[in-house]
Amino acid sequence: MRLMFLGDIVGRSGRTAVIDAVPVLRRRLGLDFVVVNGENAAGGFGITQKLADELYAAGVDCLTLGNHAWDQRELMTTIDDDPRMIRPANYPPGTPGRGSVILDAPGGRRVLVINLMARLFMDPLDDPFGHADRLLADLAMPRDVDAILVDFHGEATSEKMAMGHHLDGRVSLVVGTHSHVPTADVHILSGGTAYQTDAGMCGDYDSVIGMKKEPAVLRFVRKLPTERLTAAEKPATVCGLVVETDDATGLAMRAEPIRVGGRLPSAWPDFQALHEPVDAAD
């Protein structure tokens, strides 16, 4: 199966780039399943159901969230009715929404998507490692599902790497989100799980992690409050990775970064039988 994960969408620029790119990437790469972190899609702060529906219409199969999940308060009243959007599973009991979901893929296959949030330099949520173990206690590849993707939303690279090794051999992919900067460590761990410390953002990189750079820089220079941060608006780079799994095991056979459009140098999966690279506007 061929899976794509895209990092945090930031603002209108990121949304536009993802909505334009996903249909093209699905066709050119022969993708079976697409997961995107959408927690900053609404102006850099949260997501609304309307924006989620626009992303689904473009070909996104599942949306994950993170520490900005509730910035748009309306989501607390709609997320329970959206079977394709998940928030971190280690939020306290009683939090709206769900932390994992099994969704259908072509050919009668099924994909489990899990969303977890780290704890170092983040909100003090429940233990994500224990939550991952409990979620996987009764589900295994390929017996119950054909692939398992884990979005681990966090700051510390060490914690993200630890989660990758903790789940190695039990899931298809562990990928970090939240830092908005793509790391250069896409690889397959020794047990067969694809891993990247951070997928990066789908946003304008002429910015400070997706926000307009002038007020963001002043916050560091003056150490005083500035105007409210707003999402940068120049053309976005779509960032993430593509993973090809073994149908017999669910584990990764290939994992490659993908970067399309915007300011960052492009990266295109070097899989056999793929077509030529494509601009997001194609």
CATH code of 209's domain: 3.60.21.10
Domain annotation covers residue 271: no
- The answer to whether the CB of 205 falls within 8 A of the CB of 264 is yes
Statement: residue 225 has pLDDT above 90 = no
68 catalytically annotated: yes
Statement: residue 253 has pLDDT above 90 = yes
Domain annotation covers residue 181: yes
- The answer to whether the CB of 117 falls within 8 A of the CB of 128 is yes
pTM: 0.94
> What would the pLDDT profile of 33-81 be if each residue is shown by its tens digit?
999 999 999 999 999 999 999 999 999 999 999 999 999 999 999 999 9
Distance from C-alpha of 33 to C-alpha of 3, rounded to nearest angstrom = 5
Quickly list H helices, 59-212. 75-78, 128-136, 157-167
Number of structural domains in the chain? 1
Distance from C-alpha of 87 to C-alpha of 95, rounded to nearest angstrom = 9
Break the chain down into helix, strand, coil percent, rounded to 5.
25, 25, 50
Domain annotation covers residue 10: yes
Residue 7 lies in domain:
2-260
Q: In the prediction, which pLDDT does 282 show?
A: 52
Distance from C-alpha of 226 to C-alpha of 229, rounded to nearest angstrom = 8
Q: What is the dihedral of CA 272, 14, 123, 71, to 10 degrees?
A: -140
Domain annotation covers residue 155: yes
Domain annotation covers residue 78: yes
Domain annotation covers residue 88: yes
State the catalytic residue, choosing from 68, 131, 153, 178. Answer: 68
> What would the pLDDT profile of 179-224 be if each residue is shown by its tens digit?
999 999 999 999 999 999 999 999 999 999 999 999 999 999 988 8
Q: In the prediction, which pLDDT does 279 show?
A: 54
Instruction: For residue 273, name the pLDDT band (cuts at 50, 70, 90).
Output: very low
Domain annotation covers residue 46: yes
